[in-house]
Each structure stands twice: as structure tokens, then as C-alpha cells.
Amino acid sequence: MNEYSIGIDIGGTNTDIGLVEANGRVAGRQRLSTQTFTDKESYVAAMSEGIRTLMQAHGVSHIASIGIGAPNSNFFEGCIEAGTANLPIKERIPLKEMMEQIFNVNVVVDNDANAAAYGELVYGGGRGMRHLITITLGTGIGSGIIVDGKLVHGHTGTAGELGHSIVMPHGRPCGCGRQGCIETYASARGICQNYIEAAKQAGRPLSVAERESLTCQQVGEAAAQGDPIACQAYDTTAQWLGIALANAANFSAPEAIFLMGGPTRAGEALMQPLRKYFEENLLFLYKNKISVRLSELNGNDAAILGAAAIGRIEC
């Protein structure tokens, strides 16, 4: 007998609903265009309709939980806060309350970075672990921290912002208004900046046009193919990330730290130097006890699995 959960990944473009088996297989999917909904009632009705369609199509009469990954969400209150930037619905959306009334199961709402950590814990490389950290490299750097099998939300509900750990006092300016956050050295933009600096240092400075059109994906693909300047850019990324992750290890001494997100597609061009710098910067107590690994969740399923996992853990 299988137990099914629902995972819903809310993004500014699409809202993806998945019916997830206990072993992490996504049995079926439904997709809504987020931008077509301008009030919470019609949005929740459409999500509910999507869930019912999935259940009927797979002959499922009962679901264990519903987990929702959403931007600007409040885990404690189970809602998306009013005024969320990328959503057309500007009012507060009390998703937990509304969905629980409809389905009579526990509904849990959390943000995407936290959902990624739950997903790794329940369905990915973190199965069986009690302590792990996930780091999502992208436009910014998101993180989720699992301590004793539970996600750390903290007093404010917004814990786990490792992307804004300051690794270099008075370092690069960050979008958060401060300086030297790890995000400025290891996000997609940070990696491009590392490339621009490496090219200059190699005596091959980029033109303004080249700098403006440069993408992290290009740098990652070049690095994966052994381009020396791109590899240097990733080496610099790994140096800074090695310090940040070693500092994170001091906090919760996890069993593993998992990396995910676009820039990790560079593979060993990132991971090989990262493991080296991480170990070098690690306090002796932790040496050779904490692994740094790529996420084991399939990229296409990761967001839905993360959302489904929230419901599995927190209910």
C-alpha cells in the first residue's frame, strides 16, 4: 500500500502541483498559470481542482498531507504575505486555513529554500540524516538548515539566510545593502564577476559588451570543459564558499551540506576545489566528518518534492 502526498510549488510564472508517492516518485502533475489569478478564492479553487483531478486520475482516495513551497510565505501563519512581488494576488493568502477546510488534511506552507532542505531530507541524499544544510546557488543564495530532523525557522520565522553571511568585511556590495556577503562571490552574478576579474588578471579583459552579455551558464559550461579562466572563476567561487560552509559547520555540525541550483551544473569544476577549500577551512573537530555533495533530487522534480516533503515532516 502506498501513501500519497501533494506538493505544490508556487512561482511567479507557474504553479506546479504534484501527486507524490512515499518513495519520492512524482506520480502525476498539474500546472496552473499563476498570473491568471487575481483573487485568492479563484486561485485556491483552481489548486483544489488540480489536486482532485490528480487523485481521480490515479485512483487515490486519500492523501496524507499537502505541502506548499511559496515565495514570501510565513510558515508560522501558513500564509503568503500581502504584497508579494511576483504574484498578481496582492492580498494575504491564508493557504493553510483555506486548503485545510477543503481537504481536511494538514497543510504546511514554507519558502522555496526551506522546501529544498525538506526535499533533500525526505526524498534526496539526506534520507536518514538528522542534521544537514542545503545551499541553493542562483540569482541569490538560499539555504535551509535541518537540526535534529526539523527545519530551523528561528524566533523570527526567517532563519537560514546563509547567503548573507559576511565572508569579507568591506567586501563586494550586496543587493541587501551590506558588503561582503557570500552571495556576492558565489551567486550566479558573483561567479560572473569572478570570471571578469580572472579574465582581467589573465591579461584578457572583457569588453563592456562582453561583460554585459556574460551569463553564469556560459561560465559553468566553459569551466566544465576545462577553460582555464572559467575554472579560475569557479576556483575563486569555491574559495569563498569553502569559508562560508566551514563557518556554517561550526554552527550545527551537520552530516552533509548539499548544493543545488544552476551554477552547480559546472560539476567537478566547482565541487573539486570546493571540497578542498572546505576541508582547509574546517575546524579540526569536524575534519573528514562533514561531506559536501551535490543534491540528489532530480532538478525537474526538486521543487515539487521539496513542497511535498514540507507536509511530510511538519505534519
Select from 72, 106, 165, 215 the one that contacts a copy of itself (CB under 8 A).
165
Q: Is 155 in the site for a copy of itself (CB under 8 A)?
A: yes
Parallel/antiparallel/unpaired status of strands 141-147 and 132-137: antiparallel
- Angle, in degrees to the nearest 10, between helices 228-252 and 188-201: 130
Least distance to a copy of itself from the beta carbon of 278, Å? 12
Number of residues that bind a copy of itself (CB under 8 A): 44
Select from 145, 257, 274, 308 the one that contacts a copy of itself (CB under 8 A).
145
Q: Is 315 in the site for a copy of itself (CB under 8 A)?
A: no
Count the residues in the chain: 315
**Measuring CA to CA, how many Å separate 158 from each of 15, 143, 151, 272?**
23, 11, 11, 31
Q: Is 273 in the site for a copy of itself (CB under 8 A)?
A: no
Q: How far apart are CA 138 and CA 90, in angstroms?
A: 25
Q: Is 168 in the site for a copy of itself (CB under 8 A)?
A: yes
What are 158-165's contacts with CB under 8 Å, separation 24+? 160/113, 160/114, 160/117, 162/133, 162/135, 162/244, 162/248, 163/135, 163/187, 165/244, 165/247, 165/248
DSSP type of residue 271 = H
Select from 158, 201, 225, 300 the one that contacts a copy of itself (CB under 8 A).
158
Which is nearest to 16 in space by CA: 70, 58, 92?
A: 70
How many degrees, rounded to 5, is the angle at CA 7 between CA 135 and CA 23?
85
Select from 57, 82, 202, 283 the one that contacts a copy of itself (CB under 8 A).
283
Q: Which helix H or strand E contains 28, and what residues bound it?
A: strand 26-33
CB 220 within 8 A of CB 186: no
Query: What is the phi/psi pair of residue 302, to 5°?
Result: -55, -45
Q: How far apart are CA 58 and CA 285, in angstroms?
A: 50
**How would you classify residue 169: left for phi > 0, otherwise alpha for psi between -120 and 50, otherwise beta?**
beta
Query: For residues 54 and 167, which CB has a smaller minimum distance to a copy of itself in the complex?
Result: 167
Q: Is 25 in the site for a copy of itself (CB under 8 A)?
A: no
Query: For residues 62 and 170, which CB has a smaller minimum distance to a copy of itself in the complex?
Result: 170
Q: Is 127 in the site for a copy of itself (CB under 8 A)?
A: no
Q: Is 159 in the site for a copy of itself (CB under 8 A)?
A: yes
Least distance to a copy of itself from the beta carbon of 207, Å? 31
Least distance to a copy of itself from the beta carbon of 283, Å? 5
Least distance to a copy of itself from the beta carbon of 252, Å? 5
Select from 22, 45, 166, 224 the one that contacts a copy of itself (CB under 8 A).
166
Q: Is 147 in the site for a copy of itself (CB under 8 A)?
A: yes
Q: Is 281 in the site for a copy of itself (CB under 8 A)?
A: yes
Select from 29, 40, 92, 131 the one that contacts a copy of itself (CB under 8 A).
131
Query: Could you tell me which stretch among 90-98, 243-251, 259-267, 302-310 binds a copy of itself (CB under 8 A)?
Result: 243-251
Cα dihedral across residues 177, 181, 293, 2: positive or negative: negative
Q: Is 238 in the site for a copy of itself (CB under 8 A)?
A: no
Query: For residues 208 and 285, which CB has a smaller minimum distance to a copy of itself in the complex?
Result: 285
Q: Is 177 in the site for a copy of itself (CB under 8 A)?
A: yes
**Measuring CA to CA, how many Å separate 275 from each of 73, 75, 240, 279?**
33, 33, 12, 6
Select from 22, 27, 102, 152 the one that contacts a copy of itself (CB under 8 A).
152
Applying CB under 8 A, which residues contact a copy of itself?
129-131, 145, 147-148, 150, 152-162, 164-169, 176-178, 243, 246-248, 250-255, 281, 283-286, 289-290
